[in-house]
Amino acid sequence: MSPKIWQGRRGLVAVRGGHHWRAVWPVLLAAALGLVLLLAGCGSSSQPGEKGGSGEGQAAAKAGELVLAIGGEPDAGFDPTTGWGRYGSPLFQSTLLARDNDLNIVKDLATDYQVSPDGLTWTVKIRTDARFSDGKPLTAADVAYTYETAAKSGSVVDLSVLAGVQALDEHTVQFKLKQPRSTFVNLLITLGIVPKHAHGGDYAKNPVGSGPYKLVQWDKGQQLIVEPNPYYYGSRPAFKKVTFLFLSEDAAFAAARAGQVDVAAVPHMFAKQSVPGMRLVAVKSVDNRGIMFPTVPSGQKTKDGRPVGNDVTADPAVRRAINLAVDRQTLVNTVLEGQGRPAYTVCDNLPWWNPQTVIQDADVEGAKKVLAAAGWQDKDGDGVLEKGSLEARFTLVYPAGDSTRQSLAMAVRDMVKPLGIDITVEGKSWDDIKQLMHANAVLFGWGSHDPLEMYNLFHSKNRGVEWFNPGFYNNPAVDKYLDQALQATDPAQANKYWQLAQWDGRTGLSALGDAPWAWLVNINHCYFVRENLDTGKNRIEPHGHGWPITANIVEWRRK
């Protein structure tokens, strides 16, 4: 999705189609250098980019320190009970379970957990040696407090299924669910534990946790400095100080060129450039981009008066034809300059993905046949199809500050034009998109390691709920599969139902079925990494909020 949760990663320039940066990067370089030197104080004794053009700046010279420019900061701070850490890693806090670099579920604070046969009771044993960064022990009471607080917060942390949680003893906590929930395990993976004794109104700015690092200094909008938590029970981090600089992607690239950072997250259009002393690390992700279509006719309104429905995209033939006509590999090759993969669902290549959903795309003639069979014809010869008095025209909106989504939207517009479908592309603010999204197509982005995202996007219960299912999609058969997946007590059985929801041979939420979305691409997350820095095995990353590359930061070492 990506309504603003984090400060923007693209602040200094709007890059259209990825080709204007060459004219502006020297300006960006100068701006970034000034900012880096001012904020981090890490380049005062050397000129950036010197040392024979090697790019070895001050950051590389400090073997025990890291300087990262890998994205923005969370506006709401670092409190897991209100959402911090649900994408990527909470860094300051630890979680009951975790995912390893192959995305397998492994124990973290938990030493064991049991699920009752009916799926309603989850009992978790926690380790006895965990301490918060203030030295006080972490107990089951802290775990219970964390989940109770998150459930009451009304935040993006969805604990609506939680009936209760209690500490059975100092190191055993038990969760009672209202109904079986196969995805509950993902909350144990993502929700960082906060200390009951030190969790107050100022916690988000001054977090205390049991994770590998502790916060030392946060200059909001500028930088964050962290140091190892001396009480961390896991592997000791190799770096005694890590500085996160909150630069736009463009400025991060300039800082990388200047040798001022060890890792820089950059837009894909910079990926073909060379940076002295650094290598490109392009990490696969499920960070997707796709077009959401309103699936119901116009005429309705939400309770707060927002228009619902679109007569053109309500026709499944239009949605299926667009899915067929779009050439996804060309989008990857051109818009993403090769840094990505075609996308066909919200969860490609994850365990709950149905590989049958990969369609033969770039099929313009096939798309024309679908439209003709549904009664769409160009009777007046103006190049736009009609069906009765209805013309095949609609608007596709995207967040105005996102050049990648802009380019994708424009490319799709051009790809479907030969069909006789006329798309008007408009950039809008997220506030405007929220008003428009039930009646217009929207270029969204999602991507999670939790299949609950599929439920949120496609179940009819979520029609018009916040940013979920904005197209008012409704298929009772799909709803049934999604419910069965959610209530399954066996992970393999849950995955089977998730896959059937996508396509069961007759219907489904994918392009083979109702096609409520046209998924386009999964983007690679691109980083320039200092040559002498080993960041371990990179895992498939979720949507771009958070700092997913730091999930294994305790494994990072200088070579």
Among the ranges given (4-8, 312-316, 498-502, 513-517), the one the predictor scored with the smallest mean pLDDT: 4-8
pLDDT classification of 392: cutoffs 50, 70, 90? very high
Angstrom CA distances, 59 to 63, 238, 267, 273, 473, stand at: 8, 15, 21, 20, 50
Q: What is the pLDDT of residue 38?
A: 42
Judge whether residue 238 has pLDDT over 60.
yes
* 174-202 pLDDT tens trace: 999 999 999 999 999 999 999 999 999 89
Mean pLDDT, range 222-243, rounded to an integer: 95
- Res. 16 pLDDT band, cuts 50 70 90: very low
Q: What's the angle, vertex CA 101, arms to CA 95 and CA 106, rounded to 5?
A: 40
Q: What is the pLDDT of residues 131-165, one digit of tens each?
A: 999 999 999 999 999 999 999 987 778 898 999 99
Q: Tell me what pLDDT residue 384 has.
A: 98
**pLDDT over 70, % of the chain:** 88
Q: How far apart are CA 295 and CA 366, in angstroms?
A: 21
Lowest-pLDDT range of 27-36, 44-53, 70-79, 230-239 = 44-53
pLDDT above 80 for 494: yes
- 47: Cβ contacts below 8 Å, ≥ 6 apart: none
Query: Which tokens in the block code for residue 433?
Result: 């998109």
Enter the pTM of the model.
Answer: 0.82
Mean of the per-residue pLDDT values for the chain? 88
Contact between 502 and 394 (Cβ < 8 Å)? no
pLDDT computed for residue 45 by the predictor? 31
d(CA 450, CA 174): 22
Q: What is the rounded average pLDDT of the residues 527-538?
A: 94
The reported pLDDT for the residue numbered 1 is 55
**Average pLDDT, integer, range 287-314:** 96
- The pLDDT of residue 76 is 86
Q: Is 149 helix (H, G, I), strand (E, B) or coil?
A: helix
- Angstrom distance (rounded) from CA 397 to CA 404: 13
Q: What share of the chain is helix, strand, coil (3-state, %, to 5)?
A: 30, 20, 50
Q: Is 254 helix (H, G, I), strand (E, B) or coil?
A: helix
User: Residue 232: is its pLDDT beyond 90?
Assistant: yes
The three-class DSSP label of residue 331 is: helix
> Angle CA(175)–CA(179)–CA(184) in degrees, nearest 5?
55
What stretches of 116-222 adopt beta strand conformation (E)? 121-126, 162-169, 172-177, 213-219
Give the pLDDT confidence of 79-91 residue by residue, as tens digits. Answer: 999 988 877 778 9
Q: What is the pLDDT of residues 423-440, one digit of tens each?
A: 999 999 999 999 999 999
Dist CA 362 CA 342 (whole Å): 12
